[in-house]
Amino acid sequence: MINIKNLNKYYSNTKVLNNISIDIKKGEIFAIVGHSGAGKSTLLRCINGLEDYADGILLVNNKEIKNLKKDELREFRKNIGMIFQHFSLIQRKTVFENISLPMQLWGYKKEEISKKVNDLLALVGLEEKKDAYPSQLSGGQKQRVAIARALTLDPEILLCDEATSALDPNTTTSILNLLKEINEKLNITIVIVTHEMEVVKQIAQKALLLEHGNIIGFDD
Ligand code: ADP
Ligand code: ADP
């Protein structure tokens, strides 16, 4: 599903990803672990087409991302959901409105949006919070909203960038359990970037260790 071969990435003349090769299969939960600055977020941004790379091959569903034209890239990115450490919710919009946003941007009909958002609210267990604002939610609840929003366009891949780093250990476990449930129920491939070994232990089927842009270990 995601095939990376000999990928290199530079910021000006600093190499931040060095000769990275990874194969991630459909339905896997795959972790990329390493200290801050290792290149984890950069790698995720390459996978979802937000970041260009110097050379190497990066295929998602057998398509080379850097060859995609602008409108193809937009279509491609529908297939990839993403969640972040600080949730990236819009503060002046309700839970329901936050989750609706991607479907609104893609011009879905009101009834389709409403059905999908209600289904996702049930999946993440936040039905009774649909009219609340982000400031009225706990960290774990905010991440549940972000997860629901990431799933609205039925992506095959979910990228998680330090998605539990702002949460306490119990909340982390509950979010990881939700991600496992989503992986099993919806057969979504999940790629998790984290600096926390505990997260890897709890959820990952495969993990690789990244340091200064190099893969220094692999565990499967
Ligand atoms: P991680 O996610 O593992 O913390 P990052 O991918 O954010 O690592 O960063 C990898 C390296 O690239 C770091 O040295 C960081 O400072 C640098 N970096 C990240 N983004 C940029 C950017 N937009 N421009 C220049 N350097 C960057
Ligand atoms: P994280 O550690 O959560 O991965 P960072 O705080 O390293 O994220 O980076 C936050 C943002 O700043 C990112 O968009 C990244 O691309 C950018 N960035 C990080 N390091 C640099 C840098 N050295 N020069 C320019 N931009 C950077």
What's the distance, CA 195 to chain centroid? Answer: 15
Tell me, using a 6 A CB cutoff, whether residue 213 lines ligand 1: no
Compute, in angstroms, the gap from residue 42 CA to the centroid of ligand 2.
9
pLDDT digits (tens, 9 = 90+) for 159-189: 999 999 999 999 999 999 999 999 999 999 9
Q: What is the pLDDT of residues 22-38, one digit of tens each?
A: 999 999 999 999 999 99
Pocket test for ligand 2, best of 14, 40, 41 (most atoms within 8 A of CB): 41
Residue 219: band (very low, low, confident or very high) from pLDDT cuts 50, 70, 90 = confident
Residue whose CA lies nearest to ligand 1 atom number 10: 39
19 C-alpha vs ligand 2 centroid, how far in Å?
21
Task: Concatenate the DSSP letters of all residues of 18-80 into one string.
Answer: EEEEEEE-TT-EEEEE--TTSSHHHHHHHHTTSS--SEEEEEETTEEGGG--HHHHHHHHTTE
Which residue, judged by its Cα, is nearest atom 4 of ligand 2?
41
